[in-house]
Amino acid sequence: MPYIQIDMLEGRSAEQIKKVVKDITEVMVNDANASADAVNIVVRESRKDHIAVGGVLKSEM
Amino acid sequence: MPYIQIDMLEGRSAEQIKKVVKDITEVMVNDANASADAVNIVVRESRKDHIAVGGVLKSEM
Amino acid sequence: MPYIQIDMLEGRSAEQIKKVVKDITEVMVNDANASADAVNIVVRESRKDHIAVGGVLKSEM
Amino acid sequence: MPYIQIDMLEGRSAEQIKKVVKDITEVMVNDANASADAVNIVVRESRKDHIAVGGVLKSEM
Amino acid sequence: MPYIQIDMLEGRSAEQIKKVVKDITEVMVNDANASADAVNIVVRESRKDHIAVGGVLKSEM
Amino acid sequence: MPYIQIDMLEGRSAEQIKKVVKDITEVMVNDANASADAVNIVVRESRKDHIAVGGVLKSEM
């Protein structure tokens, strides 16, 4: 712990995901006193036709 | 918020998923006073060999 | 399956939650051909100071 | 219920996953008095470049 | 990883939960070649009026 | 979206949680091109006797 699950729209580059996990881990260390090696992150990318806001799929927006 | 995660067996049509997210959002608005544009839904479809009930994978049923 | 997780702000009444799970189950039966007794729902209520949108906690809004 | 979500690195065999869900269901029955047919499990496999520990993606280790 | 989330009805004893996490970790080591210290488990207990099967809350059954 | 779930040990201060959600949102904006107001975060704090690493509850460590 902490365990962080990131659900987001597919399409980010490998470089972006690499930076996201590095920087979020830093936030948990700096702001919440977590030890870095205890921070587990899973990134789940979803298709536009599997994510909805306001009852409308992203693929319909 | 509310944030709703739907894990289900793969295989529904795009039309079914479109209707599910629309109707679930309506339920949250009508039954729980949520504002529609605050309702976030992610749909995750899983393969039969990744879902189990009673210790048996759906692919084994 | 389907398994549905609802994360929302605390404060809904027992009656509202009762209606939400009933109506969401109906949506899954009508729109996604699920069988009612396979629909599992967990409702998790969170405090305002544990939910954030746009980087700001609901308790700060 | 109980509902169990297993997020793990991709690459396990079908046989391994079959055994995991069977044995975890047995644990819930033996240790937590769950009835087997109430135990729902979803297995989600993630790519190495979507899982991080200590701020570093598994694909970078 | 693996990261395991267990959502279940409240009411298990501390001893039961202690045994569940120990035995589930053993399953992941024996069946899925995980290393024990990489297995992270969170147990979330829910009230009967926050869990539903078949559209009916456990508190209504 | 993105939707971020943070499961962590209970005990952080309100100030720490406030900073975590602010800074994580900034990471998603800067590193993943998310728009701030689309970033939803829920923080779930768990008791030591509900979190395990390596098969041992934090409360047993």
Task: Write out residues in chain A with pLDDT < 70, as ranges.
Answer: none
What single-letter amino acid sits at B31? Answer: D
In tens, the pLDDT along E43-55 reads: 999 999 999 999 9
Q: Which residues of C make CB contacts under 8 Å with B?
A: 1-9, 12, 16-17, 19-20, 23-24, 27-28, 30-34, 38, 46, 51, 53, 58
- Pairing relation of β-strands D56-57 and D51-53? antiparallel
Position A17 scores a pLDDT of: 98
- DSSP string spanning F15-52? HHHHHHHHHHHHHHHHHH---GGG-EEEEEEE-GGGEE
Tokens found for residue E16: 């039961």
pLDDT band (50, 70, 90) for residue E1? confident
For the packed helices A14-32 and F14-32, what is the interaxial angle rounded to 10 degrees?
Answer: 160
Share of chain F above pLDDT 70, in %: 100
Give me the number of domains chain A comprises: 1
> What is the rounded CA–CA span in Å between residue F25 and residue F1?
11
- Tell me: pLDDT of D7 over 90: yes
Task: Tell me the three state secondary structure of residue E18.
Answer: helix
Q: How far apart are the first and last CA of chain D?
A: 36
Within 10 angstroms of residue D15's Cβ, the number of other Cβ atoms is 9
Average pLDDT of the residues in F30-54: 97
What pLDDT does residue E55 have?
Answer: 97
Residues in chain B whose beta carbon is closer than 8 A to a beta carbon of chain D? 7, 44, 46, 49-57, 59-60
Touching E (3+ Cβ pairs <8 A), the chains are A, C, D, F
Closest CA to D29 of C19, F3, E24, A60: E24
For C27, which of B7, B20, B46 is closest by C-beta distance? B20
CATH value at residue C39 = 3.30.429.10
* Mean per-residue pLDDT, F18-30: 98
**Domain limits for position B40:** 3-60
Are F54 and E41 within 8 A, CB to CB? no
Q: Across chain F, what does the average pLDDT equal?
A: 97
**What ipTM is given for this predicted complex?**
0.96
Q: What is the pLDDT of residues B32-61, one digit of tens each?
A: 999 999 999 999 999 999 999 999 999 999
